[in-house]
A = this chain, B = another copy of it.
Amino acid sequence: MNLQTSLSADPAAVSPEALVEQLARDGRAAQRVLARISDADKAGALRAAAKALRAAESEILAANAQDIAAGEAKGLSAALLDRLRLDAGRLAGIADAVEQVAALPDPVGEVISADERPNGLKLSRVRVPIGLIGIIYESRPNVTADAAALCLRSGNAVMLRGGTEALHSNRAIRAALAAGLESVGIPAAAIQLVPTQDRAVVGAMLTAAGLIDMIVPRGGKSLVARVQADARVPVLAHLDGICHTYVHAAADADMARKLTVNAKLRRTGICGAMETLLLDTQFPESASVVGGLIEAGCEVRGDARAQALDSRVLPASGEDWDTEYLDAVLSVAVVDGLDCAIEHIAAHSSHHTDAIVTDDAEAAERFLDEVDSAIVMVNASSQFADGGEFGLGAEIGIATGRLHARGPVALEGLTTYKWQVRGSGQARP
């Protein structure tokens, strides 16, 4: 029995806590089925889901048209409407992405370590799914398929709670995915969409410790902040991407000019975009790096020494060092060497991604060792902070927490392990 169908009729008839509990019990039961099936069958289920998405094109686009019409009536911005809008090409891209996840290797079952004790006990640590993962996200309907595919490929069930603006699109996408799973014998409850937009249900998900094993928020800073503040369930997320690039005294000047423009301006709205540039006092080409950024269209706010490099540099306030602009704006400080750069980063970084540009191998290794961020880079653009670029095939998000998983989190990050012990009758002395 799948509550998804029965409850969507009248989800308001039960309390938010009871609704989440019932959905979670159904999802956990479906997850136990997933945990028993083979790698090939999990991949096959995702291919069936992708096929069902393609087959449901007209239903999904019709549902999306409803959301777009409602969004226009509500006066959503053009940018939001664009993120919400699906067409045949975008839907094909969503189905392709599901097939790409199907083609990734399954992390479940990997033997992380193995040992044999002197008494003959054989120990192994084996990778297993996390269980039931809750995803709380905003208006982009592609997240419905992407997140569901990553969770399923790693043996997890998923409880999705998308934004109100995308409600009809999400329901149509979820229905297609579920139909695909059922066609190969996997319970539809492995992919659930919360059947109400009641905000109290989000609160009930966040506090459902023991029922939901992990929450992944996908969206803007206010969503992530609320989830982190209220959750009793472990959360995989990052709040800010205040990413630094430090141009060391021994940096190659051409590389410094190229990487700073790319790190700041390739796309300014992503979490891996550089927000603060640190220029070493001993680096001779600082003025041309700053000039290059300004000429490429960037507003530069600097400390006194950065202002001295170029008259177009505006004065930075104290807040600038802790600001994620997500725009063509950059704070620039001049620092007295590697230790000062590391100290500035320790004080102001959000521990997402920080980079050094240098030809000095020793300085590079010290930066890699001593900067305590989820991702540390040498001679590369911080915009590479991405699961796809890291070869993970996809990502569920980028994590800056210290436990379990950091950086781009994909299939492996959606698993944990258990210890398996094989004995031959050992009683403990």
Which residues of A come within 8 Å of B, CB atoms? 32, 35-36, 115, 117, 121, 123, 125, 128, 130-131, 209, 213-214, 228, 234, 252, 255, 258-259, 261-262, 266, 346, 364, 368-370, 372-381, 383-384, 389-391, 401-404, 406-408, 416-428
- Complex CA gap A419/B405 in Å reads 10
Closest to A259 in B: B427
| A227 → chain B closest CB, angstroms | 13
- Complex CA gap A24/B423 in Å reads 44
Instruction: Tell me if A425 and B258 are in contact (CB < 8 A).
Output: yes
Instruction: Tell me if A391 and B123 are in contact (CB < 8 A).
Output: yes
- Which of B261, B262, B372, B391 touches A128 (beta carbons < 8 Å)? B372
Secondary structure type dominating chain A contacts:
mixed
Closest to A232 in B: B229
Instruction: Tell me if A252 and B425 are in contact (CB < 8 A).
Output: yes
- Complex CA gap A370/B420 in Å reads 11
Instruction: Tell me if A377 and B423 are in contact (CB < 8 A).
Output: yes
Known: A375-B421, A384-B121, A419-B376. A214 touches B426 (CB 8 A): no
- Complex CA gap A105/B376 in Å reads 25
Known: A391-B115, A402-B131, A403-B214. A418 touches B262 (CB 8 A): no
Instruction: Tell me if B346 and A262 are in contact (CB < 8 A).
Output: no
Q: Using Cβ atoms and an 8 Å threshold, which residues of chain B touch A407?
A: 125, 418-419
A-B CB contact pairs (8 Å), 18 listed: A130-B403, A131-B372, A131-B402, A259-B425, A262-B428, A266-B428, A364-B422, A373-B418, A375-B418, A375-B419, A376-B418, A381-B426, A383-B428, A384-B423, A384-B426, A384-B428, A389-B428, A390-B419
- Which of B262, B404, B408, B424 touches A403 (beta carbons < 8 Å)? B404
